[in-house]
Chains A and B, each alone.
Chain A
Amino acid sequence: MPGAESNTDKSADSFESDLLKRARDASLQTRLELNQLLESEIPKYASEDASLVVFGSLAREEWTSGSDLDWTYLIDGEADSEHLVIVQQIQRLLKKHEEQFRPPGRTETFGNMAFSHDIIHQIGGQSDTNKNTTRRVLLLLESVPIGKRTEAHERVIRGVINRYLQEDNHPLKSDGKSYRVPRFLLNDIVRFWRTMAVDFASKQRDRGGEGWGLRNAKLRMSRKLIFASGLLACFSVQLDPNLQAKISTDNSDIRFELINHIRDYMRLTPLAMLKRMMIQYEIPETISDELVGAYAEFLQLLDDETSRKALENLRAEDSASDPTFQLVRKISQAFEHALDHIFFVNERIAPLTRKYGVF
């Protein structure tokens, strides 16, 4: 059943720690239980035009005891007033089971419905809100449909990738022998990351410092992981030798190959994508161990109720003396050290970071 299958890369299993395996198993089990609950209480909740899509730790296969359930009822078809009725039923049902499925955060990015039209057509421009950008980029980089009706989810993702590629007028380098990094998509992923960082500061002000510690930890780790995986997916378009072998003289073919390539990469969880790239681009084992180890430690911390609570209650002014936050800092420094190596030292990736990552 889609959603109950793992999106980790089997070829990168050597990196697996027990904790990551546990988080993955818990994610798959939770997705199954979520579908069973929905099917039993709201039969046929999804259709060919509407998929129930989960994001966040459940989609990334990082589900821990305190994880929120970030979900969206994604509609790609005729607008129907009954869609709202279904969304409200889902909201009520999940509220009843909130001990197992903790409600999403207060931004209203999740926990309601989203329409393909906004996601596909409003890329850039005045109507592209932070909420729309976040939904769109997370849809690409960390979303999974629940249950059997997955068509709308797949259609929208392909529609979004197609839209990004349509705006790139020159998909091939001038010699015609290799693909260029898809700049429009890459820029939107960079924008998403910067939006996350700016929103972090905005929330700190709006909420008077409440929840600062956990948001900071997520920004340093899981949000950064998503950003890194998005950059690498874009870079892979220029780096992947299998893709370069498929260059056609036909412009439509070029776009189809790119859509399929980007979709295949983005089907992986962000961590699985990084693992695959680390193998593919021969990142030293010490670095890959450092990255995966740091990430596993971060999940361990979130899985520990005391540590998670400590972070949830931590305010910025107390961070310097807080032992849990000091541990977060140490973990995130190791994580960043490994990312620095991948993006700024590796001789194949570093030139692309210089060329596309900053200016």
Chain B
Amino acid sequence: MRSIGFSTGALARSDFRTALAMLADKSVDAIELSALRQDELLPLVEQLDHLSLSRFQYISFHAPSSMDRSFEPIALGLLGQVAARNWPIIVHPDAIHTPAEWRRFGDSLYVENMDKRKPIGQTAEDLARIFETLPNASLCFDIGHARQVDPSMSEASTILRVFRDKIKQLHVSEVNTQSKHDCLSLVSMIAFQRVSHLLPQAVPVILESRVEESEIEEEIQNAFRALTPLYTFNQPTIRAAPEIGGVYGLAQPAPTPNRYTILYVGKASNLRERLEYHLNNPPVSGITHFFTESVETDAARARREKLLIAEFNPAGNTACGLLA
């Protein structure tokens, strides 16, 4: 299962301590520390030693989203302290004035694709030009920005195909008509689902949705739904499934277009083998699609399976008495 967490800026703007407190008892293992304005950078960097971050398996750092040219050298110095911790640095391409100076961060510099307000970085063509000047940099793929730029998601699919190997982090949220990050709506979840099979599966997800503390867990579940690809349940696609341990779901289209009913959820130490078995011995009739999530240990698989069964109440599991 991929790492997932929130941006501190989304939860509490510059108040990163409050944001961390909001996540204290939530099922997240990733965090993005955000200094979205210039004047937030120094206070955050100064506090890094004093923050309790040990529970997070993945930590990234969002540099100010725009910067004056005169502030750039100061920012580079402060971000050097972040890079020394081996944390990736997320940066907006239009915040970079002197690309040569940013090359020092190598592949730990994650350039983000932009929303429609920004002059550059919206399309695969734009990104190609940026990576010409920063050839070693990685990509933080903001799927909400990509949808805002092109709701048909065809531009998103091009970015994902061209730069798949460069993608090291995902930003996920709804991006509304005023280019503000918001919590996921059904329409954006459907759009994300359509490119979910193109997303690198092991890459951490940072949610930028502006949510209340009580909405955090629901937003995480919605993100999982939106990002988990569904594949056609047949021999050629199953042959491409990974031979690793994890959980899986078997599904069929729901009456509502672009929605699916989960019919059965299971766990396995070899996902491909198990799916091939189900193809010949379906646990329930009507299966047309499947999804998989890689989960490393058997204990974690059992926990995830239980959660999925509780969430979807699949007919196949209920019939087997697993929910009893």
Contact of B122 among A78, A151, A252, A256 (CB under 8 A): A151
Asked if A259 and B236 make an inter-chain contact with CB atoms under 8 angstroms apart, the answer reads no
Known interface pairs A78-B177, A151-B122, A252-B197. Does A259 touch B232 (Cβ–Cβ under 8 Å)? no
Stretch of A152-160, A317-325, A344-352 lying at the B interface: A152-160
Known interface pairs A155-B150, A155-B151. Does A253 touch B157 (Cβ–Cβ under 8 Å)? yes
From residue 65 to 103 of chain A, which have CB atoms closer than 8 A to chain B? 77-78
From residue 297 to 313 of chain B, which have CB atoms closer than 8 A to chain A? none
Q: How far is the CB of B242 from chain A (nearest CB, A)?
A: 16
Q: How far is the CB of A166 from chain B (nearest CB, A)?
A: 9
Asked if A158 and B154 make an inter-chain contact with CB atoms under 8 angstroms apart, the answer reads yes
Q: How far is the CA of A49 from the CA of B148 in the complex (A)?
A: 11
Contact of A151 among B116, B153, B236 (CB under 8 A): B116
Residues from chain A with a CB closer than 8 A to the CB of B195 are 252, 256
Asked if B116 and A252 make an inter-chain contact with CB atoms under 8 angstroms apart, the answer reads no
Known interface pairs A48-B116, A48-B117, A158-B155. Does A250 touch B197 (Cβ–Cβ under 8 Å)? yes
Known interface pairs A48-B117, A151-B116, A249-B232. Does A260 touch B154 (Cβ–Cβ under 8 Å)? yes
Name the interface size band of chain A: 20 to 34
Query: Which partner residue on chain B sits nearest A78 by CB separation?
Result: B177
Residues from chain A with a CB closer than 8 A to the CB of B152 are 158-159, 161-162, 259
Q: How far is the CB of A261 from chain B (nearest CB, A)?
A: 10
Query: Which partner residue on chain B sits nearest A151 by CB separation?
Result: B116
Query: Which partner residue on chain A sits nearest B153 by CB separation?
Result: A256
Asked if A252 and B194 make an inter-chain contact with CB atoms under 8 angstroms apart, the answer reads yes
Q: How far is the CB of B217 from chain A (nearest CB, A)?
A: 28
Residues from chain A with a CB closer than 8 A to the CB of B158 are 256, 260
Q: How far is the CA of A151 from the CA of B123 in the complex (A)?
A: 10
Q: How far is the CA of A255 from the CA of B158 in the complex (A)?
A: 12
Q: How far is the CB of B117 from chain A (nearest CB, A)?
A: 6
Q: Does B237 contact A (CB under 8 A)?
A: yes
Q: How far is the CB of A5 from chain B (nearest CB, A)?
A: 13
Q: Does B45 contact A (CB under 8 A)?
A: no
Q: A229-261 interface mask toward B, CB cutoff 8 Å, 1 = contact, 0 = none?
A: 000000000000000000001101101100110
Query: Which partner residue on chain A sits nearest B231 by CB separation?
Result: A250
From residue 153 to 190 of chain B, which have CB atoms closer than 8 A to chain A? 153-155, 157-158, 177-178
Residues from chain B with a CB closer than 8 A to the CB of A49 are 116, 177
Q: How far is the CA of A259 from the CA of B190 in the complex (A)?
A: 18
Query: Which partner residue on chain B sits nearest A248 by CB separation?
Result: B197
Q: Does A263 contact B (CB under 8 A)?
A: yes
Asked if B154 and A151 make an inter-chain contact with CB atoms under 8 angstroms apart, the answer reads no
Query: Which partner residue on chain A sits nearest B154 by CB separation?
Result: A259
Known interface pairs A151-B116, A249-B237, A250-B197. Does A162 touch B154 (Cβ–Cβ under 8 Å)? yes
Q: How far is the CA of A78 from the CA of B116 in the complex (A)?
A: 14
Known interface pairs A48-B117, A250-B231, A252-B197. Does A159 touch B151 (Cβ–Cβ under 8 Å)? yes
Known interface pairs A158-B150, A162-B154, A260-B158. Does A249 touch B236 (Cβ–Cβ under 8 Å)? yes
Query: Which partner residue on chain A sits nearest B156 by CB separation?
Result: A256
Q: Does B95 contact A (CB under 8 A)?
A: no
Asked if B157 and A256 make an inter-chain contact with CB atoms under 8 angstroms apart, the answer reads yes
Q: How far is the CA of A155 from the CA of B151 in the complex (A)?
A: 7
From residue 207 to 265 of chain B, which have CB atoms closer than 8 A to chain A? 231-232, 234, 236-237
Asked if B154 and A263 make an inter-chain contact with CB atoms under 8 angstroms apart, the answer reads yes
Q: How far is the CA of A315 from the CA of B157 in the complex (A)?
A: 53
Q: Does B67 contact A (CB under 8 A)?
A: no
Q: How far is the CB of A42 from chain B (nearest CB, A)?
A: 20
Q: B117-154 interface mask toward A, CB cutoff 8 Å, 1 = contact, 0 = none?
A: 10000100000000000000000000000000111111
Q: How far is the CA of A329 from the CA of B143 in the complex (A)?
A: 54
Q: How far is the CA of A158 from the CA of B147 in the complex (A)?
A: 12
Residues from chain A with a CB closer than 8 A to the CB of B177 are 49, 77-78
Q: How far is the CA of A154 from the CA of B150 in the complex (A)?
A: 8
Q: How far is the CA of A260 from the CA of B197 in the complex (A)?
A: 18
Residues from chain A with a CB closer than 8 A to the CB of B116 are 48-49, 151, 155
From residue 189 to 244 of chain A, which have CB atoms closer than 8 A to chain B? none
From residue 158 to 174 of chain A, which have CB atoms closer than 8 A to chain B? 158-159, 161-162
Asked if A151 and B149 make an inter-chain contact with CB atoms under 8 angstroms apart, the answer reads yes
Query: Which partner residue on chain B sits nearest A163 by CB separation?
Result: B152
Q: How far is the CA of A139 from the CA of B155 in the complex (A)?
A: 19
Q: How far is the CB of A51 from chain B (nearest CB, A)?
A: 12
From residue 51 to 73 of chain B, which have CB atoms closer than 8 A to chain A? none
Q: How far is the CA of A171 from the CA of B127 in the complex (A)?
A: 30
Q: A250-279 interface mask toward B, CB cutoff 8 Å, 1 = contact, 0 = none?
A: 101101100110010000000000000000
Q: How far is the CB of A122 from chain B (nearest CB, A)?
A: 17
Q: How far is the CB of B10 from chain A (nearest CB, A)?
A: 22
Q: A2-31 interface mask toward B, CB cutoff 8 Å, 1 = contact, 0 = none?
A: 000000000000000000000000000000
Q: A119-159 interface mask toward B, CB cutoff 8 Å, 1 = contact, 0 = none?
A: 00000000000000000000000000000000100110011
Residues from chain A with a CB closer than 8 A to the CB of B194 are 252, 255
Q: How far is the CB of B244 from chain A (nearest CB, A)?
A: 21
From residue 191 to 207 of chain B, which have CB atoms closer than 8 A to chain A? 194-195, 197-198
Query: Which partner residue on chain A sits nearest B122 by CB separation?
Result: A151
Other contacts beyond A249-B234, A260-B154, A263-B154: 8, CB < 8 A: A151-B116, A151-B149, A158-B155, A162-B154, A249-B232, A250-B231, A252-B194, A256-B195
Q: Top 9 A-B pairs ranked by shortest CB distance?
A: A162-B152, A259-B154, A256-B157, A252-B194, A48-B116, A158-B152, A256-B154, A78-B177, A151-B116
A sample of 28 inter-chain contacts (CB < 8 A) reads A48-B116, A48-B117, A49-B177, A78-B178, A151-B149, A154-B150, A155-B116, A158-B151, A158-B154, A158-B155, A162-B151, A162-B152, A249-B231, A249-B234, A250-B232, A252-B157, A252-B194, A252-B195, A252-B197, A253-B157, A253-B198, A255-B154, A255-B194, A256-B158, A256-B195, A260-B154, A260-B158, A263-B154
Interface residues of A (CB under 8 A from B): 48-49, 77-78, 151, 154-155, 158-159, 161-162, 249-250, 252-253, 255-256, 259-260, 263
